[in-house]
Amino acid sequence: MLQFFRINDPYRLIFVFLILVSVRVIWVAVGLPLSLPELKWLLVGQRLGDGFTMYQELFDSTGPLAVMVYKWLDILFGQNRWPHILLSTLVIILQAGIFNSTLLRNKAYDENHYVAAFLYVVVMSSTGDFLALSPQLMALTFVLLSLNQIFRRIDNVVTDELFLISGLYLGTASLFYLPASVFFFVFLLSFVFFSSAVLRRLLLLIYGALIPVVLVWCYFFWFNAADDFLFDFFVAGLIKPKVFYINYVLLLKVGGLLVAAALLGVSVFVTQRFTNFQQKMQQVMILFFLGGIMVTAITREVSTADLVFLVPSVTFFLVYYLLGLQKRIWKALMPYLIVVALLAYPFWWLHHPELEDLRVDEELPHEESSRIMGIGLDLRQYYGQELAGPFLDPFIGKQKLSGLDYYDEASELYKALDHSHPEVIVDEWGVMDRIFYRFPTLAKRYRPVGEGQYVQVSN
């Protein structure tokens, strides 16, 4: 199996792509369940595709660059998850090419090959949520681009732009997914510990990371939403209560095979010999793995998509392990065992009852599609509906509602509500009476039909 990819031929990436597509076609044929995070990203894209401004007219902490992708996917294809899956396939094959190219350029292994690209897509198929176009997946692309700059510096390539470009990539990654900023500190430590970086160049790294943040801030400043951006994305993204789409015990179970593969890979430290540069690269990848674990620890919305940051390290060490096997029987069998296990493992979890809280039951009957504004509404209840209100994240929504007694905050809230025109309002927090009291013109448009439920008055 591995012999085919041990040839230094870029066209091997075509076969890597075909393997990835084949795996995903099987997933589609079997039936890929819609997860709650996926539903949320579809709703975000739909709301922004309707012309509303993120953070000011949609209260959520999803990264600004990620929501821009969701917005344009909704504009082009509507509220459809399949373009997301198709684009995530292209992102993964791009990442596999970037990662393999990085390892080739920096002589990570004793021979040039495309085994790393092959194993990358295999490991990327080991968890169902990796099929989704998550902010985590998009952020990882830029983390991998920055990784090449780290390896070049360890190889004593000293240029100022190396630090600046690395910072640009890491800053961009954090704007897709805020917890990905962990890798800024991981790579900062790598520069300090494994190279002779001077303070001036480390400041360039920081400067580079701040450039995309400032540019995005300027974008929201233009739309008078700069303060909303800073609070909703940075502050709420760090302090809001955790949302557990999956608890940590179950996360460990789902990611158990990844951890086992990583442990198997690092066993090469006691069985193989490496050059000094290869050892430094391995130390960086161990820090990378620890950074991936830190992401799952600090994220405010825990899901299996966070495990995607473990994939590069697992792949990196698995290549060493599989290519270093000496006994003929293990060289013949072990690659098949590992690949089959990684590909089959997520199917075992496909309809596992422990993951029911993570999924949307698409077979349950739902109400006829309508434009709905929910306040404190469970995400599942948006399935099959259009989001027609700013309230999505409960923590941020409560913070916005706390400003009803202040003119500026109330004015911004009124603009978000006034332009939404929901057909149905479902109020789980019992705040609509207060909202209607503050905004009488809004109250005239709706009539109550039940406790916490309002419908638009027909003209």
DSSP bridge partners of 372: 387, 424
d(CA 390, CA 54): 9
**More confident site: 196 or 237:** 237
Residue 35 and residue 358 in contact, taking contact as beta carbons nearer than 8 Å: yes
d(CA 159, CA 155): 12
Mean of the pLDDT values across residues 171-189?
A: 96
Q: What is the 3-state secondary structure (H, E, C) of 76-106?
A: HHCCCCHHHHHHHHHHHHHHHHHHHHHHHHC
pLDDT at 56 (0 to 100): 95
Which helix (H) or strand (E) segment holds residue 111: the answer is: none
Closest by alpha carbon to 80, among 46, 114, 129?
Answer: 46
Highest mean pLDDT among 319-328, 344-353, 433-442: 433-442
pLDDT at 370 (0 to 100): 87
Confidence of residue 69 (pLDDT cuts 50, 70, 90): very high
pLDDT, tens digit, 9 for 90 and up, residues 98-142: 999 999 998 888 888 999 999 999 999 988 888 899 999 999 999
Mean of the pLDDT values across residues 40-58?
A: 96
pLDDT at 107 (0 to 100): 86
The CA-based angle 212-217-218, given to 5 degrees, is 100
- For the record, the structure tokens of 131 come out as 């099929």
The percent of residues above 90 in pLDDT, for the chain, comes to 63
**More confident site: 12 or 137:** 137
Mean of the pLDDT values across residues 212-223?
A: 97
Q: Does the pLDDT value for residue 1 go beyond 70?
A: no
Contacts of 155-158 with C-beta under 8 Å, sequence gap 24+, read 155/106, 155/277, 156/195
Which helix (H) or strand (E) segment holds residue 375: the answer is: strand 371-375
pLDDT at 171 (0 to 100): 98
Residue partners of 64: CB distance under 8 A and separation at least 6: 54, 55, 175, 216, 219, 220, 229, 233
d(CA 71, CA 54): 10
d(CA 81, CA 87): 10
Q: Which of the residue ranges 171-175, 265-269, 409-413 would you say has the lowest mean pLDDT?
A: 265-269
Looking at every residue in the chain, the average pLDDT score rounds to 90
pLDDT at 325 (0 to 100): 79
pLDDT, tens digit, 9 for 90 and up, residues 143-155: 999 998 888 877 6
Sequential DSSP letters for 186-197: HHHHHHHHHS--
The CA-based angle 246-142-264, given to 5 degrees, is 60
Mean of the pLDDT values across residues 432-439?
A: 94
Which helix (H) or strand (E) segment holds residue 113: the answer is: none
Highest mean pLDDT among 58-62, 277-281, 446-450: 58-62
pLDDT at 363 (0 to 100): 63
pLDDT, tens digit, 9 for 90 and up, residues 222-277: 999 999 999 999 999 999 999 999 999 999 988 888 888 888 888 877 777 788 88
Backbone angles phi, psi at 142, to 5 degrees: -80, -30
Mean of the pLDDT values across residues 38-66?
A: 96
pLDDT at 157 (0 to 100): 63
d(CA 220, CA 53): 9
Q: Does the pLDDT value for residue 323 go beyond 80?
A: yes
d(CA 190, CA 285): 10
Tokens 């709650």 locate to 36
Q: Does the pLDDT value for residue 364 go beyond 60?
A: no
Mean of the pLDDT values across residues 57-65?
A: 97
Give the C-alpha distances (Å, rounded to integers) separating 438 from 304, 407, 413: 41, 10, 11
Mean of the pLDDT values across residues 84-106?
A: 95
For the chain, the structural domain boundaries read 2-355, 371-456
Mean of the pLDDT values across residues 408-429?
A: 93
- pTM score, two decimals? 0.95
Q: Which of the residue ranges 305-309, 339-343, 351-355 would you say has the lowest mean pLDDT?
A: 351-355
pLDDT at 365 (0 to 100): 52
Strand order in the sheet with 386-387: 386-387, 371-375, 424-427, 453-456, 446-450
Mean of the pLDDT values across residues 423-428?
A: 94
- For the record, the structure tokens of 130 come out as 């990796």
pLDDT at 440 (0 to 100): 93
Mean of the pLDDT values across residues 176-193?
A: 93
